[in-house]
Amino acid sequence: MAAREMTAVATVAAPAVRKRSGSLRRLRRRPLPAVGALLLAALVISALAAPWLAPFDPFEMNVVDRLLPPDETYWFGTDAYGRDIFSRTLYGGRVSLVIGASVALASTVIGLLIGVIAGYFRTADAILMRIMDGLMAIPGILLAIGLMSLTRASMWVVIVAITIPEVPRVVRLVRSVVLSVREQVYIQAAMAIGTRFPRLMIRHILPNTFAPLIVQATYIAASAVLVESYLSFLGVGTPPEIPSWGNIIAEGRLYVQIAFWNILFPSIFLALMVLSINVLGDGLRDMLDPRLARRL
Amino acid sequence: MWLYVTRRVLATFPVMGVVAAIVFLMLRMSPGDPAAIIAGDNASVEDIAQIREHLGLDRPLVEQFVRWLGQLAVGDLGTSIYLDRPVLGLILERVEPTLALSISTMTFAVILAIPMGVLAAWRAGSWIDQSIMALSVLAFSVPVFLIGYGLVIGFSLTLDLLPVQGFVSLSEDPLAFFRHLVLPTVALGLVYTALLARITRATMLETLNEDFVRTARAKGLAEPRVLILHALKNASVPIVTTIGTGIALLIGGVVVTESVFAVPGIGRLTIDAVLQRDYPVIQGVILTIAGVYVLVNLAIDLTYSLLDPRIRY
């Protein structure tokens, strides 16, 4: 909040003309977040437009053209079934996008609900936070692997399995904001004039959580994309017939000695997507809340 | 002091109780009949009934849980369905590679990350700082298998310097043991190094602004002495905390790294168990790892007063 006040002061003190050049200067001094956003936009477009961009059907097998190195027909080479890796990689981006976005959204919404309850009601707090402590004691990927074993794999199951380990972190964040805000004088004032709980929550308390939540959701999306690829790589993630990056890599690892392009290109796309989301997250953090420490 | 230690030790019990409840309920709350899931797709009704009885799934939920806790209390993690052997024994058999990889990775990361973080904070804003920070964001984003296979192709297949895959026990051949550990350690260590370097830099930046650092410099102490004995020592508590909490990240990476380098450790055991729907093994592994994680972080909490004598309980 101090940061927001300072920005407000700076805006008032500086002449209106200076404002735009200020943000331009900031962009020039720290160009990385903008580069990240552009890179992410390119990856999102390439994934969304995969049906039009891909030169081949990602499922089409062509046994004659097995494990071909990259050339002008197959830009990223072919896999053991003669499928075009470039087309499969473009389609794989769609899986990562859906999973990254769904996990980020689901874990923030669930975490927000639980965090608000824990932050506001003392009795619920004790119980809910013990559950969160327990969840956090299990390493995320291990918990996701365990959850994946419970039912037949599908993309929904992957999303649930990656979301559950992420929730406690969001809960802790929201809870700490609610705990600090509820002691503020303006909340007491709102209560004194008879504001009811839902309105108090929505109008006065929740807006304080938005800045850190947006930043957190970005990091969660990056981590979800990575975890999906790990689960699929291990054979316990997205069903193998869906060409996700992790699945392409999992199939390609058998041929790593003779056809490394099978794992190289999807891995690079994966790394670029995670990197661009992380860089964007760092930029958002510096912009929205400079004091927010990077989550550990 | 002892009051705090007792309270802190006692506080681990509810956490482990919740972990046990989560692990227990996971299977029970899953969509579908756990016995049918375990039995697989081609099981007959009698098979399913037999498994249900074998696991006690026909008893009331609370009774099942209490009985299970009782078994856990005497160190019985159950019996593997697939291998028909005690889960604890299976875990102990596989513990050496995983432990070796985790310890070597932590050592590698700590040795690399702390100087990096100190250097980055000391010359904050310089090109050294910026490249160290850029590298750490990169390490957070590049998947372990890309680094892993890159190292294998470069150092094993092309240069023929190190073994491609596998694991050799320390007692069998110490040299081969270390040679097999080098590549997995580097592949896995980069993320952990990035995490520790970032936290080291952040806490060092704070302590370097403190008055006592200015005093130390003003009285003419050599810069390395100021950095290490004065600043780093005071920054050590958050760094050590992160070494502990970062183990969660490390363990996730261990599972993937073991798969890349065909290391027969706990990660491999877990994946095999998931593919075979061997629930007692999955439950046992999750409980054991969570237990180790909680204990390590307990130990770290208790060392704070050694690191920083100002902390008194």
pLDDT at B277: 81
Identify the residue with better confidence: A10 or B157.
Answer: B157
Taking an 8 Å cut-off on Cβ atoms, the answer to whether B26 and A229 are in contact is no
Report whether pLDDT(A276) > 50: yes
Residues A20-25: what's their mean pLDDT? 55
Q: Please, which residues 46-65 of chain B have a Cβ atom closer than 8 Å to chain A?
A: none
Structure tokens at A164: 């559950």
A6 touches B at CB < 8 Å = no
**By CA distance, what is A275's nearest residue in B?**
B141
Res. A165: pLDDT tops 90: yes
Mean pLDDT, residues A193-206 taken together: 86
Confidence (pLDDT) at A188? 87
Percent of chain B with pLDDT over 90: 25
Q: Find residues 275-294 of chain B whose CB sits inside 8 Å of chain A.
A: 275, 277, 279, 282-283, 285-286, 289-290, 293-294
Rounded to an integer, the average pLDDT of A180-195 is: 87
Note the pLDDT of residue B160: 78
Q: Say what the pLDDT of residue A290 is.
A: 55
* Residues B250, B104: Cα–Cα separation, whole Å: 11
For residue B188, what pLDDT is reported?
92
**pLDDT by residue (tens digit) across A81-99?**
778 888 888 888 999 999 9
* A150/B31 CB distance under 8 A: yes
Between B285 and B234, residue with greater pLDDT: B285
Average pLDDT, chain A: 82
pLDDT tens digits along B294-311: 999 898 888 887 777 777
Q: What is the pLDDT of residue A27?
A: 59
Residue B241 has pLDDT above 70, yes or no: yes
Whether pLDDT at A225 is above 80: yes
Nearest to B12 by CA among A115, A262, A130: A130
Task: Give exposure, B41-68, as e/b (b: 16+ Cβ within 10 Å).
Answer: eebeeeebeebbeebebeeeeeebbeeb
Q: List chain A residues with CB under 8 Å of B285.
A: 142
Q: What is the C-alpha separation between A41 and A46, in angstroms, rounded?
A: 9
**Is pLDDT larger for residue A194 or for residue A104?**
A104
Between B14 and B1, the more confident residue is: B14
Contact B286 A133 (CB under 8 A): no
The interface residues of chain A toward chain B in range 11-70, judged by CB-CB distance below 8 A, are none
What are the chain A neighbours of B195 within 8 Å (beta carbons)? 296
Distance CA B175, CA A135 (A): 39
**What are the chain A neighbours of B129 within 8 Å (beta carbons)?**
none
CB A153: neighbour CB atoms within 10 A?
19
Closest residue in A to B153 (Cα) is A257
Between CA B217 and CA B199 the distance in angstroms is 24
What is the rounded distance in angstroms from the CA atom of residue B136 to the CA atom of residue B125? 15
Tell which A residues from 240 to 269 touch B, by Cβ distance under 8 Å: 249, 253, 256-257, 260, 263-264, 267-268
**What is the average pLDDT across A55-75?**
75
- The partner residue sitting opposite B271, judged by closest CB among A235, A267, A296, is A235
By C-alpha distance, which of B192, B248, B256 is closest to A246?
B256
Supply the pLDDT for residue B197: 93
What's the CA gap between B78 and B281, in Å, rounded? Answer: 8
Reported confidence tier of residue A11, pLDDT bands at 50, 70, 90: very low
Average pLDDT of the segment spanning B12-23: 90
CB nearest A235 (choices: B21, B137, B275): B275
Query: 3-class DSSP state for residue B309?
Result: coil
Asked if B141's CB is within 8 angstroms of A236's CB, the reply is no
| Helix, strand, coil in percent for chain B, rounding step 5 | 75, 0, 20
**A139/A287: higher pLDDT:** A139
Contacts of A227 in chain B (CB under 8 A): 252
**Interval B183-227: pLDDT, tens:** 999 999 998 999 999 999 989 988 888 888 888 888 888 888 888
- How far does the CA of residue B161 sit from the closest CA of chain A (Å)? 16
Q: What's A11's DSSP letter? A: H
Q: Which amino acid is at B248?
A: A
Q: Which two tokens stand for residue B169?
A: 């026990």
Residues of A in contact with B17 (CB under 8 A): 134
The CA distance from A111 to the nearest CA of chain B, in Å, is 18
Report the pLDDT value the prediction gives residue B110, as an integer from 0 to 100. 94
Q: Closest-CA residue in chain A for B14?
A: A130
**Who among B22, B141, B293 is closest to A139 (CB)?**
B293
Helices B266-275/B87-122 angle, 10° precision: 120
Q: Is A135 on the interface with B (CB under 8 A)?
A: yes
What is the model's pLDDT at position B157? Answer: 79
**Cβ contact, residue pair B145, A233, below 8 Å:** yes
Mean pLDDT of A98-123: 93
* Burial of residue A26 (number of CB atoms within 10 Å: 0-12, 13-18, 19+): middle
List Cα–Cα distances, A96 to A60, A86, B141, in angstroms.
21, 16, 14
Please tell me if residue A108 touches chain B, with a CB cutoff of 8 Å.
Answer: no
Residue A288 or A190, more confident:
A190
pLDDT of res. A294:
41
With a cut of 80, say whether residue A260 has pLDDT above it: yes
Separation between Cα atoms, residue B197 and residue B210, nearest integer Å: 20
- What is residue A57's predicted lDDT score, i.e. its pLDDT? 79
CB atoms within 10 A of CB B186: 18
Across the A/B interface, how many CB contacts are shorter than 8 Å? 151
Percent over 70 (pLDDT), chain A: 87
Please tell me which residue, B225 or A164, carries the higher pLDDT value. A164
pTM for the model:
0.87
Mean pLDDT of chain B: 86
Q: Average pLDDT for residues A115-139, to the nearest whole number?
A: 90
- For residue B32, is pLDDT > 80? no
Name the percent of chain B lying above pLDDT 70.
96
Can you give the pLDDT at residue B105? 94
CA distance A134 to A294: 22
How many other C-beta atoms can be found within 10 angstroms of the C-beta atom of residue A70? Answer: 15
Is the pLDDT assigned to residue B169 strictly greater than 70? yes
Nearest to B14 among A130, A263, A275 (CB): A130
- Residue A109 is predicted with a pLDDT of 95
* Residue A22: predicted pLDDT: 55
Segment (H or E) for A36: helix A32-48
Rounded to whole angstroms, the Cα distance separating B88 from A114 reads 35
Q: What is the mean pLDDT of residues B249-268?
A: 90
* CB proximity B25 to A under 8 Å: no
Q: What's the pLDDT score for residue A5?
A: 36
Distance from CA of B283 to the nearest CA of A (A): 8
Q: Write down the pLDDT at residue A3.
A: 39
- Rounded CA separation A249/A261 (Å): 10
Domain A34-295 belongs in CATH node 3.90.1170.50:
no
In chain A, what residues touch B153 (CB-CB under 8 Å)? 256-257, 260
Lowest mean pLDDT among A6-20, A76-90, A122-136, B92-106: A6-20
The pLDDT value recorded for residue A293 is: 45
